[in-house]
Structure 1
Amino acid sequence: MSSSTPEESRSIDDHCTPDALLHTAPARDVTPEDLVMAAGRDVTPKTLDWARRKLETEGAVAVEKLLP
C-alpha cells in the first residue's frame, strides 16, 4: 500500500479545466429542446410545447429559473 498523497500521484499533464471553459453562455438563442433538457425532462411533443410556451412568456431567463 502506497503512502503517497493524491498530489504526488498526479502526472505533470494533469491540469484543472479553467472556470471560463466550464461556465459559458449559449452562442445562440435558447431553444425549446435546450429548456426541456435543462429541466431534466425527456424531449417529447408535450414537453416541447411546454418549453415553447415558457420561452414565449419568460424568454431565455426561463433556463436560469431552473437553476438552484
Structure 2
Amino acid sequence: MKGEHEKEESSAPRPTHLRTGSEQPVDPEDLVRLSGREPTPERIEKARRELEEHGAAAVERYLP
C-alpha cells in the first residue's frame, strides 16, 4: 500500500521551525559548534576567516 503511505506524507503538515543555515547571522563560535567541535581560540579564528571568505556558504557546509 505504497500509495496510501505517500498520500499520508504529502498531507502531513510541514514543520515551520526548520531553517537552513544561511537564513540567520552566524558568528565564528557558532560555526565551530556546527562542525561538532568545541570552540578554541584557534578554531574560532579559522571560522572567522571562513565566514569572511565564504559568507553564508561556510555555514552550508554543516547545515542544509
TM-score (norm 1): 0.60
Unmatched 5+ stretches in structure 1:
1-17
Does residue 49 (structure 1) correspond to residue 56 (structure 2)? The answer is no
* Bigger radius of gyration: 1
Alpha-carbon distance in 2 for matches of 1:34, 1:61: 14
**Count of equivalent residues:** 48
Q: Which of structures 1 and 2 has the larger relative contact order (alpha carbons within 8 angstroms, sep 6+)?
A: 2
- 2:11 corresponds to which residue? none
Alignment RMSD (CA, Å): 1.7
Alpha-carbon distance in 1 for matches of 2:42, 2:36: 14
TM-score (norm 2): 0.63
- 1:58 corresponds to which residue? 54
Which structure features the higher share of helix residues? 2
Alpha-carbon distance in 2 for matches of 1:30, 1:44: 17
User: Percent same amino acid at aligned positions?
Assistant: 46
Does residue 31 (structure 1) correspond to residue 27 (structure 2)? The answer is yes
Alpha-carbon distance in 2 for matches of 1:37, 1:51: 10
Unmatched 5+ stretches in structure 2:
1-13
Deviations 1:23-55 (A, max 9, x none): 1233xx210011001001111101101100100
